[in-house]
Structure 1
Amino acid sequence: MRSVDKMEDIKLIKTIEENLHAAKEAGIEFNPDGLGEKWESQVPQESRRFINSDFTLREDVIRNFRGQTVFIYDWPCAKPGFMTILRRLIDGNWRGRYKVLRGRLKLLKDYNCADLLKKYPSSTVGNPNLFSYKGYKYTWRWTRHIYLLWLFKQVLEKRLSSDFVSMDIGSSYGVFSNLLKKEFPKSHHVLVDFPEQLVLAHYFLGKEFPEAKIASMKEIRGAGRINREFIRKYDFVLLPWMYYEKTQPKSLDLLTNFSSFGEMSKKYFDYYLRNEPFKSTPYFFTCNRFHSHSTYKNDISVLDYPLSEFSKLHFDIFPVISERYRRHGILFYKFFPYPSQCFEFIGVRKPLEKKGEL
């Protein structure tokens, strides 16, 4: 890392630490109960990997959070080298994963969106382990967001203004918001997640967009309201999930969620989908499991989503999560299905459409 880059990196990390302390002073509960079986255990466990007890950051982990798969698992999970090559040759589990990685590129080409992967190869922020194949560099998770960007462009690009305001619930470290911002530079993005996840998002987006205006806890605490005017002052707003209802009605053009609605408890599922700002947001874009009960104990299915409030613009089976393999013996692998396929839905809210407010 060059000395100038290192200084900027240290400055960014210091800013993130200041916002962590601001969150603590605001009385934010970092590990609340009732999040659902996956996140109740994962949030405190993963947070300890990069946040010290005094709310300083472990800089070595932050700089390598994708390579070390902090919070979010991804493939490849190891850097190229002799042992990696050996495991790909003799370990059926690893060979199956690389088959999936090769298949992801074929899928993107089949949907005519591989050009977006060429335009936006996987970011190197967080030092990820990249898969280089046929001139492309990507990870398993990155290809999913490339496909979602393509789907956004197919259905929503001509319906939204270039400076649209989007909220992504369960944003993780912000890959989808990052891609949207690169494709639509005038757009504004609210990322909603656990405060700990937003630490990684702040680092990722701060490195990807060094000149971006990013609102985190210090700015949010000082704001009287989280409304459209406030959001449009920034490129990114990092909103802890417990501040979701503080977002004023009609502040957003689009609300998105990919996977996590189906992973949370019914309590928090309803918290997001039965309240503002969702109730006044014109467009809804989601990809989630048809049913979650086979993996999670929440009994959420596609029938629980308020899709009837929207006129359908697009509905289909999500093709990206379609195959996986497990070790069969030592050298071999075999296909085994996901417990549930996922649906993809894009809709426009009916009352707004009828009133001609769009």
Structure 2
Amino acid sequence: MWKRALGALMVLVVVAASYWWQRGESAWAVDTVAVVRGSIESRLQLTGTVINDRTVTLTALLDGEIMAIRAREGDVVEAGTVLAELDSRQAQALLDKAGAELILHEQLLEAATRTLERIERLSREGNASQQALDESRDAKLEAEASLKAAAATLALNQLRLDNAQIKSPFAGTVIEQSAETGQWLEAGTPLFKVVATEGTVIEANVSASDWSRVSIGQPVVLSSEVDAGTRWSSEISWIAPTVTDVSGQGKTVAVRMFPGKAAPSLLLGQEVDVDVSLQRVDDILIVPLQALQEVSPGEFRAFVLDGGRARERPVTIGLTSLDDAELVDGLAEGDRVIVPNGQTLLDGQDVRLR
């Protein structure tokens, strides 16, 4: 009798062992992460470009031949530096002529003034007619007008002479030169492009759906692949008043920031990584985003490890960063959350730690 009972017990042990062995073999190996308490910061990562709005194209203001090129592409220049000189011989001759005519009209005015004074004296003595007095007054007025016209002609020809020199309007760098000595130009022909030393900014485009989350004075962290490992701080200084449709990016809003004193040497057109701090919360429960599954827009679930089985838990999240989410409801501190790693888990499914 006892032998029969012992045999039955052994059969049960073998069956149970086989069941648990098969269950263990069929259980998925999973990784888990713990729900912990900490801080989370939402950030916006953008790509910015170094630009300078104070960039001008300098053109010839006169028709003429280039007599000399004084600056080349890449040269650093000061405000007023002569970049090129046009043939000024005609302008100089016209200026000399206008100067001589001005002297002549000054002398004519002096003579008309003396004549008027003499006629007025004779008129008071009764020795000059009213007609003679009127004519002398008209002659002086005409001489005054002629002198003003001569002065204006002199100023105009001085301007023509000045325009024969192409000067930089501000301190900066010549980034383009498009003419050479001996070349004949018409007025309006581009000669140089100069970018100002001051006024360099970094411009980035924020998606129109995110622009309401940025504001003037918002801190940013900047970095550049050219200077690997170099990071420096700045803040948003300008936000565009309009939305722009940028090719490949959709509707965006431009934002700008100054490079700041800590910035490395930057070139126009260089790309800079812009990391914008949007919001930060502390002392909260956080869970990695990779451990969450979005079942519908705004609704998430997680699977926790519970005695060798995956248990589904609906969760509510708040602020998110690139890697983590604020846990508002659904899990507790210390819960072990399964990382799906692309697997489709079911509630109650057998799992085991990898």
Q: Give the TM-score taking structure 1 as reference length.
A: 0.16
Q: Give the TM-score taking structure 2 as reference length.
A: 0.16
Instruction: Select the structure that is richer in strand.
Output: 2
Tell which structure's C-alpha radius of gyration is larger.
2
* More contact order relative to length (CA 8 Å, sep ≥ 6): 2
